[in-house]
Structure 1
């Protein structure tokens, strides 16, 4: 219990530190969120032929960003933290003119859908492929798949996305070129809509699969080869245990342990890679909104997205820390740590 509390407190302190640093960096940048919105409101007022009311503009800035420009910087920070922590108010998007929390809350399930499925599919295939490569170490299959894994792990994900779009979507017309579902379908728990969602997600999921393919397969192969050389594997063989039981209960179970933490941390990398991937596929998820926020200098939305990525990363690391002892009884999760 003490270990759980310690890790949780460390994650919360890290989150507070990251939010603090990001807030002051955004505020101190030239043309920060307050200045950008002030300029926009002034231009709108002048375009309408009205007079520029500084107090009124500051009030509108405070409502949209959660930051009061007429207050000292430390008071702005305290007010922002109060809005985020107590009221889950991340301000209003300059680009979409909608609450940031609602935008991210709506887009997050779509990003989770394509990212998690691509990650889990890639992880499962990599584990199986790496184990088979280890059992055929030095053979044709091992050499051929090692070359393939090395090549795929070196290709950037956006190159894969462009190739899939070019050949499978535009040229062959087998898949849609963008969107989350067919606008002609009615959103809800009905077969046409769900089939359309899956159909539109095939290429983004395939891209996410390729992102994690190769590196983990080679890592699983190396771990499996190391485990195959352990004494307890020879003892199991001398006891007459079947090859399938040795492969699943002894080799795979022990070789997969070092990949577990990388799987949890990999969730955050998949989300970060979705920024360009969702833009290429015109898939309105968190990454798509992030790219739009960058183009429109939408600082409130950027701050909300940054918090989202930070929380996902910390949760992945925290879950890995808290559950590693469950999948590996040799790991000590008491007052001391084992490496």
Structure 2
């Protein structure tokens, strides 16, 4: 009971506050932009011949659109109605793909993003930490210094720039992999080998662009951590007592260095809506990146709010989970 009141409940309250503040910010930010989705939609409608409608019909259409976009009434009324709809899981219809509900649009594109980014994040985490841990332990070796220079050169490269490089190399110079889409035309999702191969071929380049840059970051951070742990007294004592070097490396140095890396991994997985989504746009991958770009360029407030809200909830949830589970991972921390 003491753990519940002093450790778990305060963190759940903090979690709810973070979500509330984050969603509130995402509500107000689009409304301070110069975008007017109602007028943009009216312009599109009028380009199809609606200019011949009478003023009363146009005014009724404008009011209907304002209600659909959640822009009816003053800002306070909009905010209250937004929370009422949000608590019901209703973001309204997507105005770009009208009348499809926002949640249906998100549920269609979210699995693509989750599959791509989570797999890429896990692979880059495993590879980067493994190589970085070894390089940190043998940091005086020449090969370790060479790897550090390579990683330091790769890490600052943005995901989307790496994606463009891969498109040029493997899409034009060596056309081995498809450079756009998630599946070939005519391929339907199924449990067939043909579908799996086609899916992996289309996901390979987007995933590779994320993995390469991710490995650079995980390598550098793990190398710094393992180099620091290597100089700790318990590691020095283990070396003096003649414990095998491989056991010292994996059981002492890398095991202790991985603790902060686990936290970073949880946050990265929670933040699947980060800048890596630009990679999806470069490859026309049918995930949240494409959907968000479509929403922003067309002023679809409902869809923007739906994606932003899910991003806030995902990151906050990942932070809460790792905060609650960390005492189980790190024996130095106790529930207090």
- Structure 2 vs 1, CA of residues 13 and 33 (structure 1 numbering), >3 Å: closer, same or farther? farther
Distance 1:16 1:187 in 2: 37
Which structure has more RCO (C-alpha within 8 Å, separation ≥ 6)?
A: 2
Which of these residues, 186, 192, 211, is aligned with residue 184 of structure 1?
186
Asked whether the equivalents of residues 42 and 57 of structure 1 are also in contact (C-alpha less than 8 Å), the reply is no
Q: Offset at 1:320?
A: 2.1
Q: Offset at 1:4?
A: 2.0
Q: Offset at 1:41?
A: 5.5
Q: Offset at 1:184?
A: 2.8
Find the counterpart in structure 2 of residue 58 from structure 1: 63
- Structure 2 vs 1, CA of residues 68 and 281 (structure 1 numbering), >3 Å: closer, same or farther? closer
The aligned length equals: 330
Which of these residues, 124, 142, 145, is aligned with residue 143 of structure 1?
145
Q: Offset at 1:150?
A: 0.5
Q: Offset at 1:156?
A: 1.7
Kindly report which structure 2 residues correspond to 1:167-316, keeping only aligned pairs within 5 A, or say none. Answer: 167-268=169-270, 270-316=272-318
Asked whether the equivalents of residues 168 and 174 of structure 1 are also in contact (C-alpha less than 8 Å), the reply is yes
Which of these residues, 20, 25, 28, is aligned with residue 21 of structure 1?
25
| Structure 1: runs of 5 or more not aligned | 335-339
- Structure 2 vs 1, CA of residues 213 and 297 (structure 1 numbering), >3 Å: closer, same or farther? same
Which of these residues, 8, 14, 21, is aligned with residue 12 of structure 2?
8
Asked whether the equivalents of residues 26 and 32 of structure 1 are also in contact (C-alpha less than 8 Å), the reply is no
| Structure 2: runs of 5 or more not aligned | none
Distance 2:271 2:130 in 1: 22
- Specify the SS of the correspondent of 1:179: coil
- Structure 2 vs 1, CA of residues 328 and 221 (structure 1 numbering), >3 Å: closer, same or farther? same
Asked whether the equivalents of residues 272 and 311 of structure 2 are also in contact (C-alpha less than 8 Å), the reply is no
**Cα deviation 1:214-238 (Å, max 9, x = unaligned):** 2221211121111111221233334
- Structure 2 vs 1, CA of residues 45 and 325 (structure 1 numbering), >3 Å: closer, same or farther? farther
- Specify the SS of the correspondent of 1:254: helix
Find the counterpart in structure 2 of residue 92 from structure 1: 93
Distance 2:260 2:277 in 1: 28
**Cα deviation 1:96-150 (Å, max 9, x = unaligned):** 2121111111111100111111111111111111111123222111111011010
Asked whether the equivalents of residues 161 and 204 of structure 1 are also in contact (C-alpha less than 8 Å), the reply is yes
1:158 aligns with 2:160: yes
Asked whether the equivalents of residues 164 and 282 of structure 2 are also in contact (C-alpha less than 8 Å), the reply is yes
- Specify the SS of the correspondent of 1:144: helix
1:134 aligns with 2:158: no
* TM-score, length basis structure 1: 0.89
Distance 2:16 2:188 in 1: 41
Find the counterpart in structure 1 of residue 74 from structure 2: 72
Asked whether the equivalents of residues 271 and 311 of structure 2 are also in contact (C-alpha less than 8 Å), the reply is no
- Structure 2 vs 1, CA of residues 25 and 136 (structure 1 numbering), >3 Å: closer, same or farther? closer
Asked whether the equivalents of residues 224 and 252 of structure 1 are also in contact (C-alpha less than 8 Å), the reply is yes
Which of these residues, 125, 128, 131, is aligned with residue 127 of structure 2?
125
What's the C-alpha RMSD, in Å, of the aligned pairs? 2.2
- Specify the SS of the correspondent of 2:155: helix
Distance 2:52 2:169 in 1: 49
